[in-house]
């Protein structure tokens, strides 16, 4: 059974930084692309960034390009999201999501429970 | 970026009703379309992928159809556990984008 457990969310001031982690189990982590998807309060879903199984290919939404960095440690079965220069509009629940292929197929068949990031002074 | 538009934004229906949700893409996306179900306080769950393929474990009352720009999700006989918000998502290119959602409420 796919299990994804996010951590690292919290309250941060505008301009600050935060690092999210997602611990994966129940599948061969390196064989699948992974993404972060966020959901602002009472809003819809927004894909943020994705990373291939090898970690060689990363993709970003324009809204976070240059501020957020996705990475993974396949030896630790863990996905990361480094978020810098945070803005109020980054406030959301951040979900870690498993893709159905190693690269280029962002169909998400596994999700974490989400971690809340609040950007406010 | 490809824009995904869902309609209606909400609907009220009764248990046993047949319900059809619509999703339209701003350009042709072939059959690269998924449907997710999300309940309050929970993560989304994929129901349909590639426009019409039923995800493992999803009840057969759910079905998807369409290609190009117009897609539908049909629930043949609405059950109490189906009341939720449904999102469509394209996987045609990067960035993948989601529709705004359709909330299915109890009548």
3-class SS of residue A9: coil
Q: Dump the DSSP string for A25-42.
A: ESS-GGGS-EEEEEE-TT
CB–CB of A105 and B36 under 8 A?
A: no
Q: Are strands B45-49 and B53-54 parallel, antiparallel or unpaired?
A: antiparallel
pLDDT in the model for residue B13: 96
Residue A90 DSSP SS3: helix
pLDDT on residue B25: 98
Q: What is the pLDDT of residue A105?
A: 79
| pLDDT tops 80 at residue B106 | yes
DSSP 8-state code for residue A96: E
Using one digit for the tens of pLDDT, what is the confidence trace for A7-52?
Answer: 999 999 999 999 999 999 999 999 999 999 999 999 999 999 999 9
Query: What is the model's pLDDT at position A103?
Result: 77
Of A61, A107, A112, the CB nearest to B91: A107
Q: Is the pLDDT of residue B100 over 90?
A: yes
Residues 6+ away with beta carbon under 8 Å from A42: none
Q: What is the pLDDT of residues B35-77, one digit of tens each?
A: 999 999 999 999 999 999 999 999 999 999 999 999 999 999 9
Question: Each residue of A50-74: b (16+ CB within 10 Å) or e?
Answer: bbbbebeeebbbeebeeebbbebee
Query: Which chain A residues touch B46 with a CB distance below 8 Å?
Result: 107-109
The answer to whether the Cβ–Cβ distance between B44 and A105 falls below 8 Å is no
Cα–chain-centroid distance for residue B66? 12
What percent of chain A shows pLDDT beyond 70?
A: 100
Return the residue of B nearest to A45 by Cα. B98
CA–CA dist A33, A29 (Å, integer)? 8
Higher-scoring residue by pLDDT: B53, B106: B53
pLDDT at A101: 84
**B-chain residues near A44 (CB < 8 A):** 87, 98-101
Percent of chain A with pLDDT over 90: 96
């Amino acid at each position: 059974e796919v299990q994804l457990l996010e951590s690292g969310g919290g309250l941060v001031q505008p301009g600050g930084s935060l690092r999210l982690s997602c611990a994966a189990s129940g599948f061969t982590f390196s064989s699948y692309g992974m993404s972060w998807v966020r959901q602002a309060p009472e809003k819809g879903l927004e894909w943020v960034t994705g990373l291939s199984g090898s970690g060689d290919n990363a993709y970003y939404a324009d809204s976070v390009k240059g501020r957020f960095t996705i990475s993974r440690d396949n030896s630790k079965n863990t996905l990361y999201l480094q978020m810098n220069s945070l803005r109020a509009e980054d406030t959301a629940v951040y979900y870690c999501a498993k893709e159905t292929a190693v690269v280029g197929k962002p169909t998400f068949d596994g999700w974490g429970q989400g971690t809340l990031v609040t950007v406010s002074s | 970026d490809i824009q995904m538009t869902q309609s209606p934004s909400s609907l009220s229906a009764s248990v046993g009703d047949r319900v059809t949700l619509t999703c339209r893409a701003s350009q042709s996306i072939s059959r690269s379309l998924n449907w997710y179900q999300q309940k309050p306080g929970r993560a989304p769950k994929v129901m349909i992928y590639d426009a019409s393929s039923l995800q493992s474990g999803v009840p057969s009352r759910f079905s998807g159809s369409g290609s190009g720009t117009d897609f539908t999700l049909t629930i043949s006989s609405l059950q109490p556990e189906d009341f939720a918000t449904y999102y469509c998502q394209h996987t045609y290119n990067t960035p993948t984008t989601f529709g705004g959602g359709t909330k299915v409420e109890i009548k």
